[in-house]
A and B are shown apart, each in its own frame.
Chain A
Amino acid sequence: MKKTMSKTLRSNIITIGLVVAVFVIVQILIGTGNISSLMKGLLVPLCVYAILAVSLNLTVGILGELSLGHAGFMCIGAFSSAFFSKCMKMFLPGMPAGLRFFLAILVGAAFAGLLGILIGIPVLRLKGDYLAIVTLAFGEIIKNIINILYLGVDEAGVHFSLKSSMDLHMEDSDKIIINGAMGITGTPGDSNFTIGIVLLLITLIIVLNLIHSRDGRAIMSIRDNTIAAESVGIPVTRYKLMAFSISAALAGVAGVLYAHNLSTLTATPKNFGYNMSIMILVFVVLGGMGNIRGSMIAAVVLTLLPELLRGVVSDYRMLIYAIILIVMMLFNWAPKCIEWREKTVAMIRGKLSPKSAAKEGE
């Protein structure tokens, strides 16, 4: 049976098995009380970053377009779902939390995906670095607008303003849901580690299935050679838009998970600005473009690294992080380093088994 198992299937099973194994190990650690509260607090963010890395890998690694606005889609997912959850909590308090969160995920994914299509239609005409800068601009615009958006709901309907909470003309200030730069407070805390892992698994299944499907091969052919793909009749724009919007919707799901993990949701440059988008891109490039498992591992390692360094060298931790990032990039990508690595590996192998090395020489 195992011999007939295809290579892709085995790789997929390893990826999903890895996530399940991590989940089981963490659950055991929690059960035996061997995990610090700091690490416990990091579990949901780790799932968020892993989902973001996997979803961005679809755009950058599989579609081959550089996007620097991924945090914008996450932002939309987070705010739309938090708005939805808070409305439900206010007007339908009897609704079970599970159903509410399930619907919130759908709302977040739908809004982010829709925005992905809306942005994708004009933006995907551009190429390379121009596409990158326009996605960056869109991400910043989304963050900026969320920061000045005031939205409230009461019996009279939805009140909306871009100026201040006073302009909403609402009698009951408790019913203001999105309060400009102060964001949304009191989102129900529906996220937990189990839900995070389940969402990560769903993301993985969606992305891995897409990659190995007919559509996925079409998308990769666009990455490898757009003109050739076009000439064999692949509708380039449609597939680009498909990959881009799926990636956006999955980022929206990560946003939902993020929003329901916090009691106060605000759009700051740190969590939804271009710094965040760049951070996700770092996960993808360091983990390997197009390598889903790699980007997931990179997300986890790079999120844990500064926290682990906190205990050892607290003042220098971000400095060390930056140096490690540069060195890892040089080590992984510089042609001279790759050559040196191959030589070293060959030398070690030669020493371990001199016979095989001699045979190669013949």
Chain B
Amino acid sequence: MSFITYLINGISLGSVYALIALGYTMVYGIAKMLNFAHGDVIMVGGFTCYTVCSTMGMHPVVGVLLSVVVCTLLGIVIERVAYKPLRMASSPLAVLITAIGVSYLLQNLALLIFGANAKSFTSVVNMKSLKLADGQITVSGVTIVTIVTCIVIMAALMFFINKTKLGQAMLAVSEDKGAAQLMGINVNATICLTFAIGSALAAIAGVLLCSAYPSLTPYTGSMPGIKAFVAAVFGGIGSVPGAFIGGILLGVIQIFSQAYISSQMADAIVFAVLIVVLLVKPTGLLGKNIQEKV
């Protein structure tokens, strides 16, 4: 029975990874850059919700909404100020280093405002835990909400990308920027929109992550950020369903290796699985294999 509990916990953690990985993968697909500051946007989301709910004492729903708004704006500002001027730079590494700079900036701002001590985050979910199979399996409210949220967001995102004009524009820009511009798509606005959506998802992921693991520091976002990045690569970076599958798998692998092998080695196992997957399938599980042309 403990196996099913672990599985559910794994899926729950994986859902959070999936939400973060969606942001990574969409930004990578469209701007071809690794957004190292994405993990810190999660942290900003967590701190916004903490300030609104715990310090100002407002309703959790207000907290979640406000953190989504703050992170969306933050994502747009970061893109406009730090990334857009470097989009045409001669080396793709320039924007990567700038992203690292933004990551340091956000961490140190949070450090100055909130201090280095861990804040205990009050869960935004007030749901009773669910007992299944005559009380042998207990599923907490946060776990259920996390999994449901992730599925709903994933479905909405798939609908948005495949059925709306803006979503199609995003696909077009990720395929070929120049051709998309010729077809009358506003490339800058589309890239901005991608960052906005990615950051909004990061805010939700941040709130859910802090509800499940209620300790909030300026560095909260960095390890989940790296793990989610691994999840995005795992599923094939640039692919939206890939990020979802990669995230869930990563969460399950992590919880299982913590439970059955060694809690200290869990991170090493997660990374080792990634390496094996990439060596067998160099573009990830659902990644497109692009033929090299001379």
A126 CA to B85 CA, complexed, in Å? 29
Q: Closest Cβ of chain B: how far from A42's Cβ, in Å?
A: 20
A281–B284 CA distance with the chains assembled, in angstroms: 25
Q: Is A244 an interface residue (CB 8 A)?
A: no
Question: Which residue of B94, B271, B282 contacts A140 across the interface (Cβ within 8 Å)?
Answer: B271
For residue B282, which residues in chain A have a CB less than 8 angstroms away from its CB?
Answer: 125-127, 130
B108 to A133, Cβ gap below 8 A? Answer: no
**Which A145-173 residues have a C-beta within 8 angstroms of B?**
145, 147-148, 162-163
Alpha-carbon distance A316/B109, docked complex (angstroms): 9
Q: Are the CB atoms of B86 and A334 closer together than 8 Å?
A: yes
A362 within 8 A of B: no
By a CB distance below 8 angstroms, the chain B residues around A144 are 264-265, 267-268, 271
Q: Which residues of A contact B237 (CB under 8 A)?
A: 129-130
17 further A-B pairs in the complex, CB-CB below 8 A; given A138-B271, A326-B98: A66-B93, A122-B275, A133-B230, A134-B275, A141-B271, A145-B268, A148-B264, A274-B226, A281-B96, A282-B100, A285-B94, A285-B97, A319-B112, A322-B108, A330-B86, A332-B94, A333-B86
Judge if A137 is at the interface, Cβ distance under 8 Å: yes
- Whether the Cβ atoms of A315 and B112 lie closer than 8 Å is yes
B89 & A334 in contact (Cβ 8 Å cutoff): yes
Using A140-B267, A145-B268 as known contacts, say yes or no to A336 and B275 having CB atoms under 8 A apart.
no
Q: What's the least CB distance linking B255 to chain A, in Å? A: 17
With A129-B237, A134-B275, A326-B82 as contacts: A318 and B104 at CB distance below 8 Å: yes
Nearest CB in chain B: distance from A141 CB, A: 5
Q: How many A-B residue pairs have CB under 8 A?
A: 130
Q: Tell me the smallest distance from the CB of B291 to a CB of chain A, in Å.
A: 12
Contact of A141 among B97, B272, B278 (CB under 8 A): B272
Q: Is the CB of B275 within 8 A of A137?
A: yes
Q: Which of A122, A140, A285 contacts B268 (CB 8 A)?
A: A140
Chain A residue numbers with a CB within 8 Å of B265 are 144-145, 148, 162
Determine whether the beta carbon of A329 is less than 8 Å from that of B278.
no
A285 touches B93 (CB 8 A): yes
B139 contacts A by Cβ under 8 Å:
no
The verdict on A234 contacting chain B, using a C-beta distance below 8 Å, is: no
**A123→B274 CA distance, assembly (Å):** 12
Chain B positions within 8 Å of A, measured between CB atoms, are 28, 34, 36, 82, 85-86, 88-91, 93-94, 96-98, 100-102, 104-105, 108-109, 111-112, 226, 229-230, 233, 237, 262, 264-265, 267-268, 271-272, 274-275, 278-279, 282-284, 292, 294
**Chain B residues in 8 Å Cβ range of A127:** 282
- 22 residue pairs from A and B, CB less than 8 Å apart: A66-B93, A125-B279, A129-B28, A129-B233, A133-B230, A133-B274, A134-B278, A137-B230, A138-B271, A144-B264, A144-B265, A281-B96, A282-B97, A319-B112, A321-B108, A323-B105, A325-B100, A325-B101, A326-B101, A326-B105, A335-B85, A335-B89
**Complex Cα spacing A222 to B279, Å:** 21
Residue ID in chain B nearest A144 by CB atoms: B268
Main secondary structure of the interface of A (DSSP, over half): helix
A326 to B292, CA, bound (A): 34
Given the known inter-chain contacts A133-B274, A148-B265, A285-B97, please indicate yes or no for A333 contacting B90, CB distance below 8 A. yes
A337 lies within 8 A of chain B by Cβ = yes
Q: How far, in angstroms, from A110 to B244 measured CA to CA in the complex?
A: 41
Q: Are A325 and B112 in contact (CB under 8 A)?
A: no
Closest CB of chain B to A317's CB: distance in Å? 9
Q: Are A141 and B89 in contact (CB under 8 A)?
A: no
Residue in contact with A60 in the complex, picked from B28, B93, B271, CB distance below 8 Å: B93
Cβ of A47 < 8 Å from any Cβ of B?
A: no
Residues of B within 8 A of A60 (CB): 93
Query: Which B residues are CB-close (under 8 A) to A315?
Result: 112
- Complex CA gap A173/B36 in Å reads 43
Closest to A319 in B: B108
Is there contact, CB below 8 Å, between A330 and B85? yes
Known: A325-B97, A325-B104, A336-B85. A316 touches B230 (CB 8 A): no
Q: Is A241 an interface residue (CB 8 A)?
A: no
A286 within 8 A of B: yes
Contacts of B292 in A (CB 8 A): 227
Bound complex: CA A323 to CA B105 (Å): 7
Given contacts A333-B86, A334-B86, contact A319 B109 (CB under 8 A): yes
